[in-house]
């Protein structure tokens, strides 16, 4: 529960235990080193010019200086801690990995970094990492090189390296599997998932879990040697034997293949190889880790995933910081409106939700309760507080109190305008009116508004809780500060804003539709849906177009396609009659339990089908790529990175390909154009290369 309270605000800083008051140490910008009355040295990291601590080259070099001083002055023990309130260490500075091409140079740098960490590990005094907030990647690897690890309650841990096509590279693969149950350690590194404090304690990643107020006492215990060290048990050691590793590695490869096929994602398999070959031998595994890490760094996959990491950062930066939204009102408690409201409340905003009838509001609340219980990991207070913030509001009273009113009514312009006519006069001075429309042009919706400059599009994707992208839609009369406030709101609720101009389908639906349409055409040509979907997953999509159409809702997909055809005069054939019949019969996809597939327990039931012709990938993917270029040419978004990011975070477009436009550039524009022309020749005008390609050459 967030509460503004001057007493706690004043006292909060006192809660942190950072050793003696840090004084700037000569020659160091990021670290301070002090010695307390007991003769314990405290090395506190507060990376300058950065919100989070990362293991930048400079930070590591300064840490080597700290180790020099430790050697000279021989304190009783060394404590390593972060001076930032948010967390310990977020891992490597990924910017330093970007665009590297020289394998030997990378190897040299990693060897140097290893040498520093090895020096820490070789110290004969107790070395104690005190972690709070988060300890990720390289940060956690430093902690693993200490003799003891203390965590403050609420700390999260993880090795996210696989998400950027790498594995830990600072000795972590060796040390982690050496200290803990190697299978559990491998599983954490292979999935890139974060774990919470109790899980870390249970697996022996940390020796003590304490509230902040007992950090000093725990450090004292560690210095005195009375804090028991978590270590591998007999069973864990057995798991690290060569025959056991062989069996486990085989199983890991099978499981990894389900999540991240080796054809596209080499890192998990490199990690499994490392452990299978060298597990149990700390030094050999560390050495092998350096070579493996350097090799991975140069792969297209790693470089493209690093690109995705920065695309996320780009969109985050578009969000801005000044945040004026405290109360959100959502009109319409259907699938989208209800889930948008639930998400806003989860993210700490007071959120009221109205609908013409109370029952859908109840339904939305029930869905919210289920979602919260899943994502709160058993924290019932978080669930309660979020549900308290989500206020069912059948009378729409919240409209008068909200800083932002989001309309998520059915896609009918008349209905939306009627709702605006009722809402606008009741809204607070300075409040923003937003529409979640996916298909109606904003100039059409702003008609009749007293303040058209305060209507903005804030377009979420389904499922709201899982898709990070939100399109922020502008129109020619929108006030710039309203557009900026909408982006900031999107950032405030932990989503990524993609600014776009109001044009049919905006960015994502526009690009996605020809892909879904082509899948339907392939079905009409007699291919099994399972086969078609496998073409797409083979390319690297998280799910195929037909499964996606079911997920989105066939009715919604059809509406959007018809609208785009109408507005843009697209050369798409009409949607097949059987599809219209299906929708008319109420088979609308996942939400009704039946669409192109039959859905059971939230999953499509798929039968065996012949393997697809790999050539078919172009037929599905290139219409998307071609449309992405049109979106850029028409200035729906003027930034190819935003378009790529929108497709990755809004639809899961094969992330290791770096986005549709980046994919075309990497493959070669000429090659893509040739393929499009061939397809145009064979299948018709819908494949005609867009005029925008010229500008990309």
By annotation, the residues acting in catalysis are 141, 161
Q: How far is the CB of 351 from other proteins (least distance, A)?
A: 11
For 235-243, the CB contacts below 8 A with 24+ separation are: 235/181, 236/180, 236/181, 236/182, 237/280, 239/181, 239/182, 239/183, 240/177, 240/178, 240/182, 240/279, 240/280, 241/280, 242/279, 242/280
DSSP code at position 13? G
Q: How far is the CB of 320 from other proteins (least distance, A)?
A: 25
Pick 6 or 27: Cβ nearer other proteins:
6
- Could you give the 3-state DSSP secondary structure of residue 405? strand
* Segment interacting with other proteins (CB under 8 A) among 48-56, 262-270, 362-370, 501-509: 362-370
Residue 48 · residue 30 · CB < 8 Å: yes
The interface with other proteins within residues 379-398 (CB under 8 A) comprises 384-385, 387-389, 391-395, 397-398
Q: How far is the CB of 337 from other proteins (least distance, A)?
A: 15
Q: Which of 22, 362, 652, 692 binds other proteins (CB under 8 A)?
A: 362
Pick 160 or 396: Cβ nearer other proteins:
396
Please name the residues in contact with 375: beta carbons below 8 A apart, sequence gap of 6 or more. 346, 465
Q: How far is the CB of 365 from other proteins (least distance, A)?
A: 5
447: contact with other proteins by CB under 8 A:
no
3: contact with other proteins by CB under 8 A:
yes
Give the count of residues interacting with other proteins (CB under 8 A): 32
Residue 156 · residue 197 · CB < 8 Å: yes
Pick 76 or 428: Cβ nearer other proteins:
428
* Segment interacting with other proteins (CB under 8 A) among 363-371, 464-472, 668-676, 683-691: 363-371
Q: How far is the CB of 349 from other proteins (least distance, A)?
A: 11
369: contact with other proteins by CB under 8 A:
yes
365: contact with other proteins by CB under 8 A:
yes
For 408-416, the CB contacts below 8 A with 24+ separation are: 408/330, 408/331, 408/332, 408/334, 408/336, 408/337, 408/340, 408/436, 409/331, 409/332, 409/334, 409/337, 410/332, 410/334, 411/437, 411/438, 411/439, 411/440, 411/559, 413/440, 413/444, 413/445, 416/440, 416/445
CA-to-CA distance for 445 and 423, rounded, in angstroms?
14
Q: How far is CA 357 from the centre of its chain?
A: 35
Q: Which of 276, 209, 273 is nearest to 247 (CA)?
A: 276
Please name the residues in contact with 491: beta carbons below 8 A apart, sequence gap of 6 or more. 316, 318, 319, 320, 321, 497
1: contact with other proteins by CB under 8 A:
yes
Q: How far is the CB of 456 from other proteins (least distance, A)?
A: 24
- Could you give the 3-state DSSP secondary structure of residue 326? coil
Q: Which of 95, 98, 115 is nearest to 55 (CA)?
A: 95
Phi, psi of 428 (to 5 degrees): -65, 155
Pick 361 or 546: Cβ nearer other proteins:
361
Pick 276 or 385: Cβ nearer other proteins:
385
The tokens for 407 are 């309309």
Pick 304 or 351: Cβ nearer other proteins:
351
DSSP code at position 576? P
* Segment interacting with other proteins (CB under 8 A) among 365-373, 458-466, 581-589, 621-629: 365-373
Site mask for other proteins (CB under 8 A), range 8-27, x = bound: x-------------------
Q: Which of 127, 177, 304, 401 binds other proteins (CB under 8 A)?
A: 401
Q: How far is the CB of 135 from other proteins (least distance, A)?
A: 30
CA-to-CA distance for 56 and 648, rounded, in angstroms?
27
Q: How far is the CB of 436 from other proteins (least distance, A)?
A: 22
Pick 218 or 333: Cβ nearer other proteins:
333
Residue 56 · residue 19 · CB < 8 Å: no
The interface with other proteins within residues 322-361 (CB under 8 A) comprises 350, 352, 358-359, 361
Q: Which of 360, 435, 348, 442 is nearest to 394 (CA)?
A: 360
Q: How far is the CB of 377 from other proteins (least distance, A)?
A: 18
Burial code of 474-490, b = ≥16 C-beta within 10 A, e = fewer? bbeebbeebbbbbbbbb
Q: How far is the CB of 300 from other proteins (least distance, A)?
A: 48
The interface with other proteins within residues 162-191 (CB under 8 A) comprises none
Pick 52 or 400: Cβ nearer other proteins:
400
Pick 246 or 326: Cβ nearer other proteins:
326
Pick 393 or 587: Cβ nearer other proteins:
393
CA-to-CA distance for 684 and 251, rounded, in angstroms?
47
403: contact with other proteins by CB under 8 A:
no
376: contact with other proteins by CB under 8 A:
no
Q: Which of 11, 105, 224, 366 binds other proteins (CB under 8 A)?
A: 366
Residues interacting with other proteins, by CB under 8 A?
1, 3-6, 8, 350, 352, 358-359, 361-367, 369, 384-385, 387-389, 391-395, 397-398, 400-401
């Amino acid at each position: 529960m967030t509460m503004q309270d001057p007493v706690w605000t004043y006292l909060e800083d006192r809660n942190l235990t950072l050793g003696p008051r840090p004084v700037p140490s000569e020659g160091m910008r990021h670290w301070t080193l002090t010695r307390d009355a007991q003769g314990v040295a405290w090395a506190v990291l507060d990376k300058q010019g950065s919100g989070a601590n990362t293991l930048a080259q400079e930070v590591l070099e300064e840490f080597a200086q700290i180790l020099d001083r430790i050697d000279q002055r021989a304190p009783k023990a060394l404590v390593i801690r972060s001076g930032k309130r948010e967390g310990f260490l977020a891992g490597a500075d990924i910017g330093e990995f970007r665009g590297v091409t020289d394998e030997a140079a990378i190897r040299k740098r990693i060897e140097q970094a290893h040498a520093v960490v090895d020096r820490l590990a070789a110290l004969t005094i107790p070395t104690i990492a005190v972690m709070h907030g988060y300890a990720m990647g390289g940060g956690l690897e430093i902690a693993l090189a200490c003799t003891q690890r203390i965590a403050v309650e609420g700390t999260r841990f993880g090795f996210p390296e696989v998400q950027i096509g790498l594995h830990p590279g600072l000795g972590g693969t060796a040390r982690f599997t050496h200290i803990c149950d190697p299978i559990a350690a491998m599983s954490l590194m292979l999935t890139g998932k974060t774990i919470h404090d109790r899980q870390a304690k249970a697996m022996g990643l940390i020796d003590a879990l304490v509230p902040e107020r007992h950090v000093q006492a725990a450090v004292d215990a560690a210095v005195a040697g009375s804090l028991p060290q978590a270590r591998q048990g007999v069973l864990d050691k057995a798991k690290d034997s060569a025959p056991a590793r062989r069996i486990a590695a085989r199983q890991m490869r099978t499981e990894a293949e389900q999540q991240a096929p080796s054809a596209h994602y080499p890192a998990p398999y490199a990690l499994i190889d490392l452990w299978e070959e060298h597990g149990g031998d700390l030094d050999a595994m560390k050495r092998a880790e350096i070579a493996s890490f350097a090799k991975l760094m140069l792969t297209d996959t790693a470089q493209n995933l690093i690109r995705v990491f920065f695309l996320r950062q780009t969109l985050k930066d578009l969000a801005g910081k000044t945040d004026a939204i405290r109360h959100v009102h959502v009109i319409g408690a259907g699938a989208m409106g209800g889930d948008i409201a639930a998400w806003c409340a989860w993210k700490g905003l007071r959120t009221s939700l109205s609908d013409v009838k109370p029952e859908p509001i109840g339904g939305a609340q029930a869905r919210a309760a289920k979602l919260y219980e899943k994502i709160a990991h058993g924290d019932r207070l978080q669930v309660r507080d979020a549900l308290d913030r989500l206020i069912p509001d059948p009378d729409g009273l919240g409209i008068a109190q909200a800083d932002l009113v989001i309309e998520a009514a059915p896609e009918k312009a008349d209905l939306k305008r009627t709702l605006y006519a009722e809402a606008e006069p009741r809204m607070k001075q300075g409040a923003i009116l937003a529409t979640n429309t996916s298909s109606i042009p904003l100039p059409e919706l702003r008609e009749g508004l007293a303040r058209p400059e305060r209507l903005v599009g804030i377009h979420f994707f389904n499922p709201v809780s899982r898709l990070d992208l939100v399109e922020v839609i502008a129109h020619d009369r929108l006030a710039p500060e309203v557009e900026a406030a909408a982006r900031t709101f999107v950032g405030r609720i932990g989503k990524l804003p993609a600014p776009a101009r109001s044009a049919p389908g905006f960015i994502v639906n526009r690009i996605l539709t020809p892909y879904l349409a082509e899948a339907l055409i392939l079905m009409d040509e007699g291919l099994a849906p399972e086969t078609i979907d496998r073409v797409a997953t083979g390319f690297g999509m998280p799910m195929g177009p037909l499964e996606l159409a079911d997920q989105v809702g066939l009715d919604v997909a059809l509406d959007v396609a018809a609208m785009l055809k109408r507005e843009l005069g697209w050369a798409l054939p009409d949607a097949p009659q059987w599809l219209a019949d299906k929708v008319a019969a109420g088979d609308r996809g996942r939400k009704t339990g039946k669409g192109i597939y039959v859905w059971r327990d939230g999953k499509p039931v798929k039968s065996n089908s012949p393997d697809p012709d790999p050539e078919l990938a172009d037929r599905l993917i290139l219409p998307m790529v071609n449309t992405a270029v049109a979106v850029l040419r028409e200035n729906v978004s003027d930034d190819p990175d935003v378009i790529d990011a929108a497709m990755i975070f809004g639809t899961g477009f094969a992330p290791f390909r770096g986005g549709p436009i980046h994919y075309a550039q990497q493959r070669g524009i000429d090659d893509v154009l040739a393929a499009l022309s061939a397809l145009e020749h064979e299948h018709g005008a819908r494949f005609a290369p867009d005029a925008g390609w010229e500008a990309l050459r």
